[in-house]
Amino acid sequence: MSGKPHKRKDIKKSEYKARVSELRTKLLLAQQAVREHGVPVIVLFAGVDGAGKHETVDLLNEWMDPRLLRTCAYGPPSEEERERPAFWRYWRDQPPAGQIGLFLSAWYSVPLLEQVKGISDEKLFQTRLTRINHYEKTLADNGALILKFYMHLGQKEQLRRLRKLAADSLTSWEVRPKDWEHWALYDRFMEVSEHLVKTSDQPHARWHMIDASAERRRGLDVAETILEAIESRVAMVRKQADTKPARPRRPRKHNVLDRLKMDRQLEKEEYRRQLVELRARLGRLQRQAHQKRFSSIFMLEGWDAGGKGGAIRRITSALDARNYQVIPVAAPTDEEKAHHYLWRFWRHIPRNGRVTIYDRSWYGRVLVERIEGYCNEDAWKRAYDEINQFESELVDDDIILCKFWIHISQNEQLRRFREREKIPYKKWKITEEDYRNRAKWDEYVAAVDDMVRKTSTTIAPWTLIEGNQKYYARIKVLRTVCEAMEARLS
């Protein structure tokens, strides 16, 4: 493999002990700096079998504070993992800000092995590498420090190492039949690995080539690279000044919401008739989707008092309570704020055949976080592509995705606010913040316009709902859901 490390002579034990003593102190200080500045660190190990990947992880756990480390190793996906998009388990395990994640046999493993064994073709392999690059870029843009180590051994050295491990009663369990199978395919592994490393070596996620034949030097090289990268990142973070939120853009003269005919209505009897029909239709479709193991995500955004809750209740009343969950999205918790903003939504991706309904969603990044200045301009502008990529992964995994913006006029919102204040069981819904948000109506219109234009894609289009009359809005939501499910099931 081109770019493989030059074979290096191992260091003496005395030098090794002296360097480790100093290095451990610096690593512990670096961990504290990572924690203080809230930097998530992702360290990934790949390379040939027998190259000491897990031994190196064991060393790092010994030299550093294990309370601030998270080790994640992956085998064949569990049933729960197979029923979700491939990256679900990696999003689930991402370290929060201030911690270091050590990843073994992670997102490069399956693409590499299946390409080597001829299970995937060149097009699929390249698609997977492109998706990996998007994934790592998304994490890096959110502040993650990503370090990737390729542990290299020559074919003869690998054979010697495997034989040594197999002959020792304490380590023989580590050598499995597939390790010998992989050794026989060594040249093919090197060919595919070279392309993988070249394609995925990005400025935000560099590969570091480690000569694994020198066992003592191997661990030092990895640890010193991690230390240097952390010190460099922490120094950069300390220099960065807070970015002021951008001035809110005024609405375009003609925005996407202007196209809606807000006077659309249904008579009460017609509403009741269609509601009965659509609920029965939706219930039947969900049973079919459950049998065929197609999962669904219905996501509702809209103005305060726009009718999201009412629409959701009409959907859930048609479904089997065992097969759906409603996720109300409020301000993020401390745990959620310590992760990438998409993390909390990845956690709730439904298993095959089930439904997740989001009452507000990941679009908060380009709506409330943008308007209220909770993230800087670069972050919310970057989010459009991140969201499109996220939704592409959902649809590629055969998830039925419906996105709704329920629109009401300013006058209708004010009428509903005042109506709620008169009803005891609805009065709690109205807060001072609701009225404060009304003062930023034009800013939100501009943000919604950008959101729809930039994230209404062929595979994940927005459905804009004329919501001034609740009857009409609820029926349009139900009908859209049914049509989307029918199209997928057919």
Pairing between strand 41-47 and 100-104? parallel
pLDDT tens digits, one per residue of 419-477: 988 877 676 667 777 788 888 999 999 999 999 999 999 999 999 999 999 999 999 99
Can you give the pLDDT at residue 427? 67
Closest by CA to 49, choosing from 96, 99, 144, 116, is 116
Confidence class for position 4, pLDDT limits 50, 70, 90? low
Can you give the pLDDT at residue 42? 98
Question: By 3-state DSSP, what share of the chain in percent is helix, strand and coil, each rounded to 5?
Answer: 55, 15, 30
What single DSSP character describes residue 248?
A: P
* Mean predicted lDDT score pLDDT of the chain: 93
Q: Does residue 63 contact residue 23 with C-beta atoms inside 8 Å?
A: yes
Can you give the pLDDT at residue 252? 66
Can you give the pLDDT at residue 490? 87
Can you give the pLDDT at residue 218? 94
Strand 400-407's sheet: what is its strand order? 324-328, 355-359, 296-302, 400-407, 462-466
Quote the tokens at residue 338.
């310590």
Quote the tokens at residue 295.
């999962």
Angle (CA) 22 27 33, round 5° = 135
Three-class SS state of 430: coil
* Mean pLDDT score, 192-213: 96
Confidence class for position 171, pLDDT limits 50, 70, 90? confident
Tell me: pLDDT of 175 over 90: no
Can you give the pLDDT at residue 11? 86
pLDDT tens digits, one per residue of 266-325: 999 999 999 999 999 999 999 999 999 999 999 999 999 999 999 999 999 999 999 999
The H-assigned helical ranges of 117-173 are 122-141, 155-167
Can you give the pLDDT at residue 161? 87
As a whole number of angstroms, the distance between CA 55 and CA 21 comes to 18
pLDDT tens digits, one per residue of 69-84: 999 999 999 999 999 9
* Mean pLDDT score, 248-268: 85
pLDDT tens digits, one per residue of 216-252: 899 999 999 999 999 999 999 988 755 555 555 565 6
- Does the reported pTM lie above 0.85? yes
Closest by CA to 464, choosing from 261, 295, 281, is 261
Q: Does residue 185 contact residue 116 with C-beta atoms inside 8 Å?
A: yes
